[in-house]
Amino acid sequence: MHWTALTAPLTLGSLLTLSACNGLSATAPAPAAAAPPPGVTQIDSGQPPRNQCRADAAQFLVGSAWGADTLAQALAAAGADRARMLRPDSMVTKEYMAGRLNVVVDAAGRVVRVNCG
């Protein structure tokens, strides 16, 4: 009887300790979706990827002021799969994507470069 009196509290204590180690909780919030990097605006063509980009066709934007529809104009002119606008403080990925058009804007809001990749 003495053995049973000691075993029950030890077993119960072990079970409580193990249940406390469970890191998952029913009330844990879902992880938030990753926000886009600050300073980058990107749009997609909405078409299947063709891996094409003709930056020369969008060079007419160099020197112009950035506007709400500038990126859409650049995307259409270059025939690219996607386009992104990059500001001086933009954090960007460095992978080369043949179908992506980069529109680089200076601190004053003027387009200074248009290139693919």
The CATH number that domain 40-116 falls under is: 3.30.10.10
* DSSP helix/strand/coil, 115: strand
Give the global pTM: 0.62
Flag whether pLDDT at 34 surpasses 70: no
Flag whether pLDDT at 14 surpasses 80: no
> Alpha-carbon distance 57 to 78, whole Å?
5
Please name the residue that has the structure tokens 């403080």.
89
Q: What is the pLDDT of residue 41?
A: 75
Element (H, E) at 22: none
Domain segments of the chain as ranges: 40-116
> Alpha-carbon distance 58 to 80, whole Å?
10
Residues 83-112 pLDDT 10s: 999 999 888 888 899 999 999 999 999 999
